[in-house]
A and B are shown apart, each in its own frame.
Chain A
Amino acid sequence: MTDTTTTSTTTVAAAAAGGGAAPPPPPPPPATSSPVQVAEICLDLLLAETERHFMHRDVQNANTSSSDDAKHLQAIGYRVGYALVERCSRGKPRPTDKLDAVKFVCKDFWSAAFGKNVDHLRTNHRGVFVLQDTSFRNLRHVPQHANNDVANERLQIPTGMLQGALAALGVPPTSVEVECNSPPDVTFTVKIGVAP
């Protein structure tokens, strides 16, 4: 890591104002979906059931490896991330470069998907981005000293979401790796346009 960029309102606001002489963007259209909110426990249990189904079926079946199962969960996350970006980017300018796209993901997308912003964003400015969320919502019920597999299972859908979000923004990552040594502190390493 040669440089550190921390997401802050100033950097992202500056990017938003980069339109120059263009007329001010219209206010974002009202959401077309109902403003209904569901209890968080419903989402938690849905995610847990989804993980249970796709990770633990056919344990005896030698044909399905656990990496296949992880791929299914990531595919689910991909769709969620893609569609969510399409919604939370309405009325926002198109990212100007990879860093701009990642910043959007760290703020607007993360807050829509995980209830808060990414805490730290670091980049080497050559396509590697490290996103750290010190209190990742999807891990808040995972005990701090839990078996690594437990956290790993809970991170497959979010990994897919991150891939889908970046793909929708025009910067499909070549790889997303996730590391979690002490839940709910999690680090995603995203490579865009560089060998995984």
Chain B
Amino acid sequence: MASVAGAAVLGPDASPWFLQAFTSNEDEPLRFQRAVHCALDAVPPVQALSSTAQPSSSTPPPTGYLGVIFASAEDACAVYGYVTATSVTLMLALEGDDDVRDADMRAAFDRFHAAYSDAVANPFHTLGQPISSTKFVQRVKSVCRGVR
């Protein structure tokens, strides 16, 4: 049985726009944040397209579903990643031993991404700032519940 321990949204500059742990255990949020930070290091840094005068190198930056980007045996958790075309990184941290089907994770990220793009469309959201929306939290929770 695997379950989602937390979800994160990181801006193009890796600043946290959303971090939410889904657990009742008091130690869990810390464990989750530690995993997210480790995962951050694992994600190739997103280089700004505008910083280079020349078109960027031959290897395109990763986009879309990245699969497991960080796994910790010690914490028994794995962080899955997804990068949008706008260089926003979405992460879901899973705990538990069972493998999750890739197709299920892709579907979960698609819903997560849709929820994110709706949150950005809220006229009262400040662009480039953390997302404070109860609607968004509810939708991300529902995404996480859908992962088994």
**Do any CB atoms of chain A lie under 8 A from CB atoms of chain B in the complex?**
yes
Report A's interface with B, CB cutoff 8 A. Answer: 18-20, 22, 25-26, 29-33, 79, 82-83, 85-87, 89-101, 104, 126-127, 168-172, 192-193
Contact A171 B50 (CB under 8 A): yes
Q: Which residues of A contact B121 (CB under 8 A)?
A: 83, 86-87
Contact A94 B106 (CB under 8 A): no
* B120 contact from A29, A86, A96, Cβ within 8 A: A86
* B48 contact from A79, A89, A170, Cβ within 8 A: A170
* A98 contact from B49, B61, B117, B118, Cβ within 8 A: B49
Chain B 96-129 against A: per-residue CB contact (8 Å), 1 yes, 0 no?
A: 0000000000110011011111101101000100
Contact B60 A96 (CB under 8 A): yes
A contact patch SS: loop
Nearest chain A CB to B89 CB, angstrom units? 11
Contact B118 A99 (CB under 8 A): no
* B114 contact from A25, A26, A32, Cβ within 8 A: A32
CA distance A90 to B125 in the complex (A): 19
Q: Which residues of A contact B84 (CB under 8 A)?
A: 86, 89-90, 94
Contact B49 A171 (CB under 8 A): yes
* A29 contact from B50, B60, B61, B113, Cβ within 8 A: B113
4 further A-B pairs in the complex, CB-CB below 8 A; given A90-B110, A97-B52: A29-B110, A98-B49, A101-B49, A170-B48
Contact B64 A97 (CB under 8 A): no
Q: Which residues of A contact B48 (CB under 8 A)?
A: 170
